[in-house]
Homo-oligomer: A and B are copies of this chain.
Amino acid sequence: MSLTLRNVSRTFAGASAVRNISLSVQPGEIVGLLGTSGCGKSTILRAISGLDDGYEGEIEINGNTAKEVHDTTGFIFQEPRLLPWLTVLDNVIFGLKGEHADKQKRAKEYIADVGLEGKEKLYPRQLSGGMAQRVAIARALVTSPEILLLDEPFSALDAFTKMQLQDLLLDVWKTYQSTVVLVTHDIDEATYLCDRIVILRGQPGEIDREITLTEQRPRKRGSEELARYKADILESLNLDRARSIT
Mark A residues whose CB is within 8 Å of B: 12, 34-38, 40-43, 78-79, 115, 126-131, 133-134, 151-152, 155-162, 185, 187, 234, 237-238, 241
Contacts and interface: CB of A to CB of B under 8 A. Distances in A.
Contact of A162 (B78, B130, B159, B185): B185
A38 B185 contact: no
10 contacts: A36-B158, A37-B130, A37-B157, A38-B131, A40-B128, A130-B185, A157-B185, A159-B185, A160-B238, A160-B241
A131 B128 CA distance: 22
Nearest to A186: B159
A3 to B, nearest CB: 22
Contacts of A35: 158
Contacts of A38: 127-128, 130-131
A129 to B, nearest CB: 4
Given A79-B79, A134-B37, A129 B152 contact: yes
Contacts of A133: 37
B158 A156 contact: no
Contacts of A156: 37, 78, 152, 155, 185
B185 A42 contact: no
A54 to B, nearest CB: 13
Nearest to A115: B37
Contacts of A187: 159
A234 B79 contact: no
A90 to B, nearest CB: 19
A34 B34 CA distance: 26
Q: Which of the listed residues A38, A134, A187 has the most CB atoms from chain B within 10 Å of its own CB?
A: A38
A42 B129 contact: yes
A63 to B, nearest CB: 31
